Structures are given as C-alpha cells and as structure tokens.
Amino acid sequence: MQAFGFYPSCISGLTKITPFYAPDNRGYFTKVFEKSIYAAHGIHISAQEQIYSYSQKGVLRGLHFQASHSQDKLVHVVHGAVFDVAVDLRANSPAFGKWEGFYLSTENRQALYIPQGFAHGFLSLKEGTVFCYLCGHPFDPETNGGIRWDDPEIAVEWPLEKIGGQGRLVLSEKDKYLCTFAEFMGIGSAGYKRGRF
C-alpha cells in the first residue's frame, strides 16, 4: 500500500503528488484527492468541475490559461501518458515566465497540482490517452486564452522525439494561433497585461 506523497517542484506551489494506491490480487484501488489530506499539505482546492479529455498520440493541448477567474487544477492520467507543462504567469513570482515539465502516466500514477496563475498544456505520448482535470473554478470562455506551445521566450523542451518528431504533432486551430509571451507581457493584439494574475 502506498500513502499520499507530496513533492514540491522548483516553482512555488507547483506540486507533484503520488496518490493513495492499494494493489491486491483483484487489481488495485487508488484515491487521487482527499480534501483534508491536501489541506494538511497546504493545498486548498475547492473543486468546481471535473473534465476528461481523450487524445491520440501526438496531440498537444495548450498552453492555456484564464485571464480572469484563474483556475487551479489537479491533473492526472487515467489511461496512457503525457508530458505535462505548467508555466508560471504570476506577476510577482520569482519564477515568472519559467516552466516545468512532468511525465504523468498510468504506470507512474502521478498527479500534479497547478496553482492559479499558470498556463498549462500537455503532449499526449500514447494512443487513446485519457486525461483528467479537477478544476477550482468553472471554465470561463470569455477570458480563456493561451500562449503558443513553441514560444521562443518560454522555450518549453517538448519531447517531440517520443511522438516521431514535430511532423506528427496535432494541434487545434485555436492553439495554432495563440498569443506569444511578448504579447502576453504587453498590451498588444492579445490584450493581456502582466499582472492579470
């Protein structure tokens, strides 16, 4: 039996979690979230909605954020594997503009808590990946936006070799035309200002 484990990352508040896990001869029982245990480790998420996405290998979703009503998220893989990325967009954070990446999969059973004020995205590394988001604020289409996955200033090191190269990448039309980090920083065409979070 494996108890909950909480492992802070290099960016304040961004936390890798190993859920409760109890295998036996029938299979296993796992629990990803328990409010009191999370609170004891300084994580206070008030879940408002739970979302699942299904992705083929090579699908990249992100990097998404809400300019208002920012969502904190608890994410994990139900089936398959992803490279999950969180970018710190909190104006007063020492890590502003920095990113961290995490491999989340059925095999490692790890989850990730992403505080408010981050952009988030993932690359699906296996066919039929099912990804779960527990969100602390409802989706807000009016302020939903994002930063390009390949922005040169943020420079996320996506493991594209694991999907057969960039030619195998699958993006939505929306994600192809997200704003740049420079636009996010200024008043440019995207209309976002540093400090919205």
- The predicted-structure confidence for 91-146, as pLDDT tens digits, reads as follows 889 999 999 999 999 999 999 999 999 999 999 999 999 999 999 988 888 888 89
Residue 142 sits in a domain whose CATH number is 2.60.120.10
Specify if 33 maps to a domain: no
Joined tokens for residue 166? 């960039």
Query: Which domain, by its residues, includes 86?
Result: 46-185
DSSP per-residue letters across 135-160: ESS---TTTEEEB-TT-TTT-----G
The 10s digit of each residue's pLDDT in 140-182 is: 888 888 999 999 999 999 999 999 999 999 999 999 999 999 9
Task: Tell whether 180 is covered by a domain.
Answer: yes
In a domain, 92, yes or no: yes
Quickly count: other Cβ atoms within 10 Å of residue 154's Cβ.
Answer: 20
Query: Taking 70 as the threshold, does the pLDDT of residue 197 lie above it?
Result: no
190 lies in some domain: no
Specify if 54 maps to a domain.
Answer: yes
Give me the DSSP letters along 96-143.
TT-EEEEEEETTT--EEEE-TTEEEEEEE-STTEEEEEEESS---TTT
Give domain status of residue 80, yes or no. yes
Domain count, the chain: 1
Catalytic residues: 64, 133
pLDDT at 69: 83
Assess if residue 87 is contained within a domain: yes
| 53 in a structural domain | yes
Contact of 86 with 73, CB cutoff 8 Å: no
Burial annotation 14-39 (CB, 10 A radius, 16+ → b, else e): bbbbbbbbeeeeeeeeeebbeeebbe
